[in-house]
């Protein structure tokens, strides 16, 4: 298998021979990892259940975790799931990589479509399944929302959406998501939405594809799946707690597959994760910090406050040169957008000319870094 290097490896190579100005405090705004302490009550639950390390965990997940995740979905999205309509997972990265391998194993010349720019594990899954890829470009022309080309979608076996979107910050409303559900039923492809940023909204709650499925009367969630995680929601990426939910027929067979791949979640992590999924207060506090960071960015850079995520997606012209200059002159790291996207059939890379900035630091650190970015932008003009 020939896997593309990850964006952060490409960034390391891009900056390899540059010595940053040591007069500036380093600022790393490249990775979507919250730089805040995991809430104490989650850490306490982990410690309190450490003795359970002596037991093997079930691949299906403990009842306490399954119920916490179902309660979260009911509380947040108004969707009541049956137990067979959800599987706790070891984060979501492993699902995004191994679920396509399960789903497409018996399909010759499989076809996967996914949003472009993208989380690189989508591409990894396409490589592992030897699938043809259709890129759903997100650019200024379509307001960073995927165009619907039914002639292409009709050939798809799996379509992966990512809304709220990393890196463009775009969101899809209930009606828009409902149209995608209708397409999945019309052309009989599996539709999966990566919803890992659903809880990092700045004003109104963002809808789920599960809600949209009910909205268009697909009550059994046929062909519809979502994944979600507490990594961003609870400042706990190391806890590795996620889920995949939706079509029970698909999930029943996928559960059998999962018993073979050794991704059961350690019991102390399950109990700590259950506490996190059951609580909303700590999430609201995180959202307030991210919104404050966006307000700071709006004042300094003039950027709009997005509906969700903790990213800025900024057009800078030559993003590679800008990234190098910003690091050299100001000791600030950002990620060039073209590292997060690929050229389409017409040779167009929709990430080219953009940078992604992760606003995952404290407001003070965020302000300091954004002021440096502003200076660098002014120098470039």
Q: What is the pLDDT of residue 1?
A: 80
Q: What is the pLDDT of residue 345?
A: 78
Q: What is the pLDDT of residues 61-90, one digit of tens each?
A: 999 999 999 999 999 999 999 999 999 999
Q: First-to-last CA distance in the chain?
A: 43
Percentage of the chain lying above the pLDDT 70 cut: 100
Cross-strand bridge partners of residue 201 = 308
d(CA 370, CA 164) in angstroms, rounded, equals 23
d(CA 164, CA 157) in angstroms, rounded, equals 22
CATH number of 54-279: 3.40.640.10
Q: What is the pLDDT of residue 176?
A: 98
Domain ranges of the chain: 7-37+282-380, 54-279
Q: Which long-range contacts (CB under 8 A, 24 or more apart) does 217-220 make?
A: 218/181, 218/185, 220/247, 220/248
d(CA 123, CA 221) in angstroms, rounded, equals 25
Scored b (16 or more CB within 10 A) or e, 287-313 reads bebbbebbebbeebbebeebbbbbbbb
Given this structure, which CATH class describes domain 7-37+282-380?
Answer: alpha beta
Q: What is the pLDDT of residue 255?
A: 97
Nearest CA to 336 among 321, 347, 344, 376? 321
Q: What is the pLDDT of residue 381?
A: 63
Q: What is the pLDDT of residues 198-213, one digit of tens each?
A: 999 999 999 999 999 9
d(CA 63, CA 258) in angstroms, rounded, equals 17
Is-contact 303 312, C-beta < 8 A? yes
Percentage of the chain lying above the pLDDT 90 cut: 96
Q: What is the pLDDT of residue 379?
A: 83
Q: What is the pLDDT of residue 198?
A: 98
Residues of the chain with pLDDT under 50: none
Is-contact 68 236, C-beta < 8 A? no
Distances (CA, A) of 69 to 34, 72, 88, 103, 271: 21, 5, 8, 23, 12
Distances (CA, A) of 375 to 208, 225, 308, 322, 336: 39, 44, 26, 12, 18
């Amino acid at each position: 298998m020939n896997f593309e290097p990850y964006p952060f490896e490409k960034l390391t190579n891009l900056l390899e021979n540059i010595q940053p100005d040591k007069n500036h405090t380093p600022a790393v705004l490249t990775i979507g990892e919250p730089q805040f302490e995991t809430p104490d009550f989650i850490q306490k639950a982990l410690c309190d259940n450490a003795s359970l390390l002596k037991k093997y965990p079930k691949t299906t997940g403990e009842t306490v975790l399954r119920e916490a995740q179902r309660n979260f979905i009911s509380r947040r999205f108004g969707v009541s799931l049956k137990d067979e309509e959800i599987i706790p997972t070891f984060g979501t990265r492993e699902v995004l990589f191994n679920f396509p391998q399960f789903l497409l194993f018996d399909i010759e010349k499989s076809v996967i479509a996914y949003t472009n720019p993208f989380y690189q594990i989508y591409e990894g899954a396409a490589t592992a399944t030897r699938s043809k890829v259709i890129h759903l470009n997100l650019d200024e022309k379509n307001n960073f929302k995927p165009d619907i080309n039914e002639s292409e979608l009709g050939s798809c076996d799996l379509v992966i959406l990512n809304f709220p979107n990393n890196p463009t910050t775009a969101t899809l409303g209930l009606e828009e998501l409902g149209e995608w559900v209708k397409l999945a039923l019309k052309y009989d492809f599996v539709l999966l939405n990566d919803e890992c940023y659903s809880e990092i909204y700045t004003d109104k709650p963002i809808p789920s594809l599960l809600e949209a499925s009910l909205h268009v009367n697909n009550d059994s969630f046929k062909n519809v799946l979502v994944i979600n995680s507490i990594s961003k929601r609870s400042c706990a990426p190391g806890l590795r707690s996620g889920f995949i939910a939706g079509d029970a027929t698909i999930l029943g067979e996928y559960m059998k597959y999962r018993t073979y791949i050794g991704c059961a979640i350690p019991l102390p992590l399950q109990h700590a994760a259950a506490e996190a999924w059951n609580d909303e207060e700590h999430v609201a506090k995180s959202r307030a910090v991210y919104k404050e960071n966006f307000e700071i960015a709006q004042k300094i850079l003039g950027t709009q406050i997005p509906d969700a995520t903790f990213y800025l997606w900024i057009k800078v012209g030559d993003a590679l040169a800008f990234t190098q200059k910003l690091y050299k002159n100001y000791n600030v790291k950002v990620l060039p957008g073209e590292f997060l996207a690929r050229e389409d059939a017409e040779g167009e890379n929709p990430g080219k000319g953009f940078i992604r900035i992760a606003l995952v630091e404290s407001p003070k650190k965020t302000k300091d870094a954004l002021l440096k970015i502003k200076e660098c932008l002014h120098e470039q003009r």
